[in-house]
Each structure stands twice: as structure tokens, then as C-alpha cells.
A and B are shown apart, each in its own frame.
Chain A
Amino acid sequence: MLSAIFLLLACQLAGEVLHRLTGLALPGSVIGMVLLIGWLALVRRERPTLSAVSAWLTAHLSIMFVPAAVGLMNEGPALERYGLGLAVATAVSTLVTILVTAAVFRWALHRFTPGEVGRRPVAAEPTS
């Protein structure tokens, strides 16, 4: 258990060090994620505890960003002025991104990996 926690913290720390040394705008934790993928590729073994710890953390992500979201209490003026713009831009961006991603995926699947086409055929999906 502790070794899994240490591995996560060590990768994050190394990520922060790299972030500060290189001036790269990538957040330290994201660099840490990439470092951990590298470590898992380098040192191959079963890691049930690491899987359990990271799954537990991921399952409880929501409560961890409550303290930050409460910070909105100081952002009243910005929300009042740009609230409509934020809502429109976020909604349009979300829908267009879904369509573009799905379209490029479908096109590339047919174009570059024809063997994969129809490997998982789909029945009509119920709308809900």
C-alpha cells in the first residue's frame, strides 16, 4: 500500500521538478502521469495494489475539487459579465468536439485500419 502511494507521490514530485527545471507549461501532475506510464513500461510486473489505490483515488475525484469550486464565491463579477458567453462557448465546443472526434475516428478507421472495421458491429442504441 505504502509503496503504491510512494510511487504516485514520487512521480508527481519528479513531474514538479521537471516542470520547474524546463519551464514547460505542462502541469507537474500531468508530467508525473507520463512518467508513471514510462515506469510501468520499464518495470513490468503485476501491480494489484497500485491499481487499487489509483482506482480508489479516481472514484473519489469529485470531492477533491469541491474546495476549488467553492472559490467561485469570489468570482461573482466575472460570472455576471461573461456567464452567457461561457455557457454558449462551452456547450457549442462540447457538441462540435464530439462530432469532429467521432467523424475523424470513423474516417481513419476505414482509411488506415480496414481490418478493424465492423469488428464490433453495433445494433441500434436506445435513445435515453
Chain B
Amino acid sequence: MSGGGASPDGLSALVATPLFWLALTVGVFEAFDILSRKSGRHPLCHPVLWTTPVLIGLLWATGTDYAAYKADTFLLSFLLGPSVVGLAVPIWAQRERITRLAVPIALSLTAGAITSIACAVGILSLFGAPRAILASIAPRATTTPVAMAIADQLGGIPALAAVIVLFAGCVGSMSATPLLNAFRFDDYRSRGFALGVSAHGFGAARAFQVNDTAGAFASLGMALNAVMTALLLSLVAIAL
């Protein structure tokens, strides 16, 4: 190494610093986020869907392994924890609505959470998937950070859980309107709540596009199902 100054060695060493991958991740994400806004937030334009393969390509191209990248971008993943805690605020803000409709909310939340887990794990086990893969799909209805935390707890793969949740969000938010119309659900509260329980933040975003009441109930469904699914799966984990 030549001491200091402008040297190509110094520049290539920059690739190995947290600053480089952090800046690149935020930059690539922001670029896709701008495109996503231009598309009117179409589910298939979700920035994570495009940022992830681009970054994987860059890591491959530079011969960087995932462990190093993960350590460098720890600052971003760390924020997931406090963000999940912060979901308490919107739940608390909707307490009047929750108490007024406590019975329908509690019953449909429980039914939805059980259906989601049983259906996903049941079908996937027909494909002969091992436990780590089943544990990654079990929390598929919850918001991504919660799904990742649950999958991790159950011995699943958080990265896989994240991608499954994104896919579920796309499917749910794109098909909910025709599906619910076909079965003649004509109340925005049940429509929104169902979308939030099954398709988390994507569902809530879609519901808000349609109607404010549906949107509020979808956010509520998303937040409550994060707790319900975590609770149910921790009971399953204890039973196993």
C-alpha cells in the first residue's frame, strides 16, 4: 500500500466499507421508489421487488458475500424492530372502532389467521417441503418485519419469508376487488378488514385507493393480524 492520497487500491477498498453498500442500497431503492410512485404504486412495481435482484447482481459482480453485505446494512435492518413496536400507535388510535365492533373483529381475525396458516402450510406440505420452508410460509399474512421475526423464531428462513409476504401482498391486492365482488361482499368494513388480515400493508394500500373506511379497517386488520399470527404460531411452537 502506498501511503494515503488518491490510489486505486484505496478506491477498491471502499467497496468493503459499510458506507458503500448502505449508500448503494438507499440509492437503488430510491430510484425504484420513484418509478413505483410514477406507476401509481402498482403492486408489481413495488421497489423491494426490483431493488433486491439488482443488489444481488451487484454483490455477485463485485464478489461480495451476503454476510458482509448484511453486516454493512445492519443500520437499515435494525430499524425494523422499533418500527414494529410503533405499530402500536395506529392500533391505539383506532380503539373506539375496535371496541364498537369487538366481536366481528375478534372472530374474523381469528378465523382469518388460522385459515391463512393452515392453508399455506397444508398446501406446501403436499409438495414435500421440509420444516424450515414450512416455517417460512406460516406467517405469510403478517407484515414483512413481523413475518421475518416469526420465521426466524420457528427455524425458518427470514429472507424467504420476506419474499413470500411480498408475493402474497401482490396477489391479494390485485385480486381482492373482483374476488369480493364475485361473492357479493358489499360492506367496506368487512372488505377492508379481510384485505388487511390477508395481504398486510399491500392490502391496506389497495383498500385506501378504493375507500377510506376500507383503508382504515385494512390497516387495523394488518396490525391486529401481526399480533394474532405471532400468538398462534408461538402456541404451535410450544405444542411441537
Chain A residues with CB under 8 Å of B233's CB are 25
Given contacts A61-B201, A102-B193, A122-B186, contact A93 B87 (CB under 8 A): no
A contact face: mostly helix, strand, loop, or mixed: helix
Any B CB within 8 A of the CB of A1: no
Chain B residues within an 8 Å CB radius of A74:
66, 159
Q: How far is the CA of A121 from the CA of B190 in the complex (A)?
A: 12
Total number of A-B contacts with CB less than 8 angstroms?
A: 348
* B44 interfacial by beta-carbon distance below 8 Å: no
- For the complex, give the distance between the alpha carbons of A68 and B70 in Å: 7
Chain A residues near B185: list those with CB within 8 A. 102-103, 106
**Contact across chains for B55 and A66 when beta carbons are under 8 A apart:** yes
Question: What 0/1 pattern do residues 61 to 100 of B give for CB contact below 8 A with A?
Answer: 0000010011001101101111111111111110000001
User: Contact between A58 and B76 (Cβ–Cβ < 8 Å)?
Assistant: no
> In the complex, A112→B104 CA distance in Å?
8
Instruction: Report yes or no: A125 in contact with B101, Cβ–Cβ below 8 A.
Output: no
Would you give 9 A-B contacts (Cβ < 8 Å), ordered by A?
A11-B88, A25-B154, A27-B149, A29-B145, A29-B146, A37-B92, A60-B79, A93-B115, A101-B193
B interface residues (Cβ-Cβ under 8 A, vs A): 25-26, 29, 33, 46-48, 51-52, 55-56, 59-60, 66, 69-70, 73-74, 76-77, 79-93, 100-101, 103-105, 107-109, 111-112, 115-116, 119-124, 126-129, 132-133, 137, 140-141, 143-146, 148-150, 152-154, 157-160, 162-164, 166-168, 171-172, 175-181, 183, 185-191, 193-195, 197-199, 201, 210-211, 213, 221, 226-227, 230-231, 233-234, 237-238
